[in-house]
Amino acid sequence: MTTTAENALLDAITVASEEGRAIPDAATGETMGYAPRHSVEDVDAAVAAARRAQPAWAALGHERRSEVLRAIAADVESSAEELARIIAQEQGKPLGGMGARFEAAGCAVWLRSAADTPVEPELLFEAEGTRSELHYEPMGVVGAISPWNWPALIATWQIAPALRMGNTVVAKPSEYTPLSVLALAEIINRHLPEGVLHVVAGGRDVGAAIAAHPPVDQVMSTGSTATGRKIVKASSCNRARLTLELGGNDAGIILPGADVGQIAGAVFGGAFINTGQTCAALKRLYVHDSIYDETVEALAELAAAATVGPGLDESSEMGPLTTDQQFGIVTDLVADAKERGARIVVGGEPAPHIGPRFFQPTIVADISDGAPLVDTEQFGPVLPVIRYSSVDDAVDSANRLGQALGASVWGDEEEAAKIARRVEAGTVWINQHGTLNPAVPFGGIKQSGYGLEFGSHGLKAVAHPKVITR
């Protein structure tokens, strides 16, 4: 059953209809709230205020800032259900499983991790009366541009480390999911001095203005590879440091001899988490000829059994595509695969009886490299499964695309570990896919971006190194 219970957090951030931009419920298309219409002028004001607030915030020191982040984490936990319901409605992911409650809880986990991870000065050299240390100083003002797929969690991945390291932040949520980030910021700002965190809820022009704004010292951007390229160009104006977490088209390789019954659930979960709308989801699966049919069948059974429905419906396991544009991309890629003669084992069609942006969980077999469904990021509930007969060919296939965020190898652990060394990606998982840990750095290579998030690497990435020699 879907319920739209009272939500004080949503009431606190939604503006009057005549002032705001209507934000649709991803499942129904009906308006769920109104986001402020921020503009490029609002970026100027936010950056100026963030600049003014930064020295005092930095002067508080690591210990005090960490205490503030811990208090925020506790408050996020107190409001987790309200935050989760906003995410479930706006972005569409189901409340349960690896869904909206998991996302809201993850915000608190990553806030605490940013607070608790030590960043000490590093001793570089000490001899003959000379000592050189490496210190990590705040960058200044950080622009934090985030996407719509994990709106609150990804904004947290940017905001929490930036704050911990003494920066102030101007955050730009996706135009599709501003309410989730405004709700997160509403909680965070209960604990911060004025001016330290701003949310500018505008469109792409607002993101572009942040990326090119002279007093912005660092831009953290998570989004598509195409947007990343534009941000790189824009940063030539302000020479801002960049952290770019961009698109992925993660390959999974299932080795001969793998126990299909044992791994099928984790393979399916790695591909269909958040209805496939996850940067590091498994997006193309290479399966050895000897276990191909068995694997396709096992995945098809799981896809057929998945309960698809609105995020707010407690029984849903998979939600809608968040945007009309994404729904169109997925529909077109599957239609093209059919035209090429690929086999739709299960699904393959929209599900308009559930809602306008729902698509059936889909397994596509007998498809090859070169098909757009394999070569482009589908970002939806569709997994192409490609047959291979030589492991070397599978590794070549995995490595042949520009994007290289994550990848996975499945089968005998020792054998998989050897293959993992040959796969080009920021992270290669063995017998799992997409599992993230706040203590373990995460980032892409090639066209999936550069710079790391999480753990001490992530904290150092929002600080500038300074050598002190005496």
Tell me which residues touch ligand NAD (CB under 6 A). Answer: 145-149, 154, 172, 174-175, 204, 207-208, 211, 222-224, 227, 230-231, 245-248, 279, 377, 379, 405, 444, 448-449
Contacts of residue 409, Cβ cutoff 8 Å, sequence gap at least 6: 252, 253, 255, 416, 417, 419, 420, 423, 428, 429, 430, 431
Alpha-carbon span 201 to 171, nearest angstrom: 8
375 contacts 401 by C-beta, under 8 angstroms? yes
Residues in a beta bridge with 468: 133
CB-nearer residue toward ligand NAD: 211 or 367: 211
**Least distance from ligand NAD to the Cβ atom of residue 180, Å:** 12
Q: CA–CA separation, 73 vs 110, rounded Å? A: 8
Q: Provide the minimum distance between the beta carbon of 444 and ligand NAD in the complex, in angstroms, as a whole number.
A: 5
Nearer to ligand NAD, 7 or 275 (CB): 275
57 or 450, CB closer to ligand NAD? 450
Pairing of strands 362-365, 31-36: unpaired
Question: What is the nearest approach in angstroms of ligand NAD to the Cβ of residue 250?
Answer: 9
Q: How far is the CB of 228 from ligand NAD (least distance, A)?
A: 7
Give the three-class secondary structure for 30.
coil
Instruction: Specify the 3-state DSSP secondary structure of 173.
Output: coil
The residues annotated as belonging to the active site are: 245, 279
Cβ proximity to ligand NAD: between 140 and 207 the closer is 207
Q: Can you read off the two tokens belonging to residue 95?
A: 């409340």
Spacing of C-alpha 298 from chain mean position: 28
Residue type, 70: R
Pairwise CA distance, residues 266 & 149, whole Å: 20
Q: Rounded to whole angstroms, how far apart are CA atoms 153 and 158?
A: 9
On whether the CB atoms of residues 253 and 391 are closer than 8 A, the answer is yes
Residue at shortest CB range from ligand NAD: 207
Residues with Cβ within 8 Å of 63's Cβ and at least 6 positions away in sequence, in order, are none
Secondary structure (3-state) at 9: helix
Contact 409, 391 (CB under 8 A): no
Buried b (16+ CB within 10 A) or exposed e, 292-309: beebbebbbebbeebebb
In angstroms, what is the minimal distance from the CB of 113 to ligand NAD?
A: 16
Nearest of 344, 346, 342 to residue 367 by alpha carbon? 342
Distance (Å) of CA 345 to CA 167, 279, 328, 351, 380: 50, 24, 21, 16, 16
The angle, 0 to 180 degrees and rounded to 10, between the axes of the packed helices 61-78 and 100-116 is 160
Nearest CB to ligand NAD, comparing residues 147 and 320? 147
Tokens of 26: 């991803």
Report in angstroms how near the CB of residue 52 gets to ligand NAD at its nearest: 24
How buried is residue 353: exposed, middle or buried, by Cβ count under 10 Å (0-12/13-18/19+)? exposed
Closer CB to ligand NAD, 35 or 296, in the complex:
35
At closest approach, how far in Å is the CB of 132 from ligand NAD?
34
What's the alpha-carbon Rg for the chain, to the nearest Å? 22
Shortest distance, position 434 Cβ to ligand NAD, whole Å: 11
Least separation, in Å, of the C-beta of 223 and ligand NAD? 3
Instruction: Closer to ligand NAD by CB, 300 or 321: give it.
Output: 321
- The rounded distance, in Å, linking the Cα atoms of 392 and 276 is 27
Which residue type, as a one-letter code, is found at position 366?
A: D
C-alpha span between 302 and 145 (Å, rounded): 35
